[in-house]
Amino acid sequence: PPREFDYRRSQSDSNATAGRTQRERPASSCTATRPIGLSGVTLSDRLRSWSHPTKDAKKPFSVDKLLVTVPLLFPPDNELVEDHPYFSRWKAIDEDAFWNIDDEAQLGKMLKRAVLKAKLFLHPDKLPKDCTENQNLLFRTMWEAILEYERAS
């Protein structure tokens, strides 16, 4: 069965103190709040729930949360997208990768490196030519989320 993830923003994310952003570990991938493939859920809806806390939210989730949850967008976890060998090239980031890092400079370097790797994977010129429409939508949405993070920082 597909794994599911609660993409909603935590209380600590919305109540972060100025200067230092409080981050909460993402919920375990076994805690289900949004089943994949329910009737009426489109791929666009699924991608929006990955990138933004609510349907109308303008601000996306933090980039560390997005990068950790990328594998949940790929088959078999996401039955709305057809499988492709290219998905296996994604190097999953451990849920603990960005936690318990007190040095902001070190955290910044780690995030920058993770974003660079994601951009290399998602760059439109690097994508396979035989992608389906759903795969292209998935890659394009992920690419735009990464670019949105870079513009904001």
pTM given for the model = 0.72
pLDDT per residue rounded down to tens, the chain (153 residues): 444 444 443 333 433 333 434 444 444 333 233 334 555 789 999 999 999 999 899 888 999 999 999 999 999 999 999 999 999 999 999 888 888 788 888 888 999 999 999 999 999 999 999 999 999 999 999 999 999 988 887
CB 85 within 8 A of CB 38: no
Burial of 6 (C-beta count, 10 Å sphere; 0-12/13-18/19+): middle
